[in-house]
């Protein structure tokens, strides 16, 4: 039996449905939470630095602990850390309506980003455990697409309800946050019924050096991705500033545009899995990264013209390209690492990505606060967005140096998980 083959057939036949249910409820809850935190920070009167901190704390908090959570999940199993992480996210969503200042919101967000981050490497490790090399891209694409589309539908429904209730001010955020908490509770229940894929062992925890040595192509990919996500992170705090602070769009339209992004991402993940398995991981990664500059470009255009509907093509293109990258990069990482190191490798990847994005987001906030002392607020945001467009274009060229990980092998002699081979 090879490293990429599941240990047991029957439990994994049932596992596919359980895993899909877990991911769907998780995405409904988490996307509702993160869709509104940026807008809430704007309404709480956040400065540029505070707005960047709201964005940065999500990326840095996730990243700073994932190397540890990933190693622990490789050592003790996936379920305990999925349970802990999803529960932390749900509790935070329930408490956010009680935040009345930007700093209170930032402190609350530390919980899902530090403790909640335990679920991410455990999830990626679980996906690698129950899939084989040649069907991995399709399986990851289907599972993630299901969750993404489910979350998109829920965003539109909840956003409509939030506006229909006639709530104003900070109270209008209660509906999406409490709904997010319910979604996370359901995901926690799903964790209890999935089958554990890792047997606890006495192997050393935090084998970072061994994980890297067993994954030689990982270092180059890590360096390229770390640089590129600095260009990504610089724009993240500016997006809600444009939508809420410059264009003043309401909660329903925020939900609508986020749902469009999610639907586009889901479609891309569904099709991207097939493409990544047929043509390789690298071509899909390159396409998704070299064209993602359209998102900040469209936001800048919307801010310049005052036309909110420029955000529609921005979210369509941004979602589609993000979905392609999610499925292709996840497959790339799972291909590269041996099973016993998957959690650690994914965690290291997310650690460097998160630190890079956090630093860039914080710099972006400081630059914005400085520029608004010299030029109008909207002009400063637009100038920064256009600069980020150029930086993203140049940073994306590094992905051409990444190697291909998909190597065709003879069909395995053991049964594979049904569904993925012919289908987020």
pLDDT at 7: 44
Q: Which pair of tokens denotes residue 360?
A: 């860039």
Query: Is position 334 within any domain?
Result: yes
pLDDT at 230: 92
From 326, 327, 418, select the one nearest 132 (Cα to Cα).
418
pLDDT at 343: 65
Query: Is position 411 within any domain?
Result: no
pLDDT at 416: 36
Q: For 175-211, what is each residue's pLDDT tens digit?
A: 889 999 999 999 999 888 887 777 765 555 445 555 5
How many Å apart are CA 278 and CA 269, to the nearest integer? 14
Assign residue 169 a region (left: φ > 0; alpha: ψ between -120 and 50; beta: otherwise).
left
Query: Is position 420 within any domain?
Result: no
pLDDT at 400: 93
In total, how many domains does the chain have?
1
- pTM of the entire predicted model: 0.70
Query: Is position 205 within any domain?
Result: no
pLDDT at 209: 59
Q: What SS3 state is found at 77?
A: coil
How many Å apart are CA 133 and CA 117, to the nearest integer? 26
Q: What SS3 state is found at 29?
A: helix
Q: Are 334 and 131 in contact (CB under 8 A)?
A: yes
Query: Is position 157 within any domain?
Result: yes
pLDDT at 293: 93
Q: For 347-367, what is each residue's pLDDT tens digit?
A: 778 788 888 888 898 899 899
Phi, psi values for residue 12, rounded to 5°: -75, -25
Which residues, 6+ apart, have CB-to-CB distance to 402 below 8 Å?
217, 220, 221, 224, 282, 285, 332
From 285, 284, 328, 291, select the one nearest 313 (Cα to Cα).
291
Torsion of CA 87, 93, 96, 97, to 10 degrees: -130
* Burial state string for 129-158 with b = 16 or more CB within 10 A and e = fewer than 16: bbbbbbbbbbbbbbbbbbbbbbbbebbbeb
pLDDT at 79: 86
Q: Which residues of the chain have pLDDT under 70?
A: 1-14, 59-67, 133-134, 166-169, 200-216, 338-344, 407-424
pLDDT at 339: 66
Residue by residue, DSSP assigns 350-413 as HHHHHHHHHHHHHHHHHHHHHHTTTS-HHHHHHHHHHHHHHHHHHHGGGGGGSPP-----PPPS
Query: Is position 131 within any domain?
Result: yes
Q: Domain of 265: which CATH number?
A: 1.20.1250.20
From 342, 331, 340, select the one nearest 407 (Cα to Cα).
331
pLDDT at 210: 57
In which domain, by residue range, is 82 found?
9-194+217-404
pLDDT at 167: 65
Query: Is position 15 within any domain?
Result: yes
pLDDT at 180: 92
Query: Is position 424 within any domain?
Result: no
Torsion of CA 122, 342, 321, 51, to 10 degrees: 50
């Amino acid at each position: 039996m090879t490293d990429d083959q599941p240990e047991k057939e029957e439990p994994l036949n049932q596992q596919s449905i359980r895993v899909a249910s877990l991911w769907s409820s998780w995405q409904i809850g988490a996307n509702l939470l993160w869709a509104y935190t940026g807008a809430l920070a704007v309404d709480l009167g956040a400065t540029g630095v505070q707005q960047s901190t709201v964005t940065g704390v999500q990326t840095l908090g996730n990243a700073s602990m994932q190397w540890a959570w990933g190693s622990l999940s490789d050592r003790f199993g996936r379920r305990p850390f999925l349970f802990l992480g999803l529960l932390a996210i749900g509790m935070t969503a329930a408490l956010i309506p009680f935040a009345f200042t930007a700093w209170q919101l930032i402190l609350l967000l530390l919980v899902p980003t530090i403790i909640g981050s335990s679920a991410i490497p455990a999830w990626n490790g679980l996906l690698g455990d129950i899939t084989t090399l040649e069907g991995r891209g399709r399986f990851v694409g289907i599972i993630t697409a299901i969750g993404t589309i489910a979350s998109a539908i829920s965003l539109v429904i909840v956003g409509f309800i939030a506006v229909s209730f006639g709530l104003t001010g900070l109270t209008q955020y209660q509906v999406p946050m409490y709904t997010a908490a319910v979604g996370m509770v359901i995901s926690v229940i799903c964790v209890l019924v999935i089958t554990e894929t890792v047997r606890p062992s006495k192997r050393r925890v935090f084998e970072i050096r061994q994980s890297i040595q067993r994954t030689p192509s990982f270092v180059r990919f890590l360096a390229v991705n770390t640089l590129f996500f600095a260009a990504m992170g610089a724009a993240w705090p500016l997006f809600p500033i444009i939508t809420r602070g410059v264009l003043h769009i309401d909660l329903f339209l925020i939900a609508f545009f986020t749902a469009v992004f999610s639907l586009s991402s889901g479609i891309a993940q569904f099709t991207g899995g097939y493409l990544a398995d047929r043509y390789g991981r690298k071509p899909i990664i390159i396409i998704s990264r070299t064209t993602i500059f359209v998102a900040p470009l469209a936001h800048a255009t919307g801010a310049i013209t005052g036309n909110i509907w420029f955000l529609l093509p921005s979210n369509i293109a941004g979602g589609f390209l993000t979905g392609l990258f999610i499925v292709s990069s996840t497959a790339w990482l799972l291909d590269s690492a041996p099973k016993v190191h998957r959690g650690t490798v994914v965690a290291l990847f997310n650690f460097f990505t998160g630190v890079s994005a956090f630093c860039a987001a914080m710099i972006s906030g400081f630059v914005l606060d400085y520029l608004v002392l010299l030029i109008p607020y909207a002009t400063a945001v637009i100038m920064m967005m256009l600069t980020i467009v150029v930086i993203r274009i140049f940073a994306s060229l590094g992905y051409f140096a990444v190697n291909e990980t998909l190597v065709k092998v003879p069909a395995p002699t053991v049964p594979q998980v049904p569904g993925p081979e012919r289908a987020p």
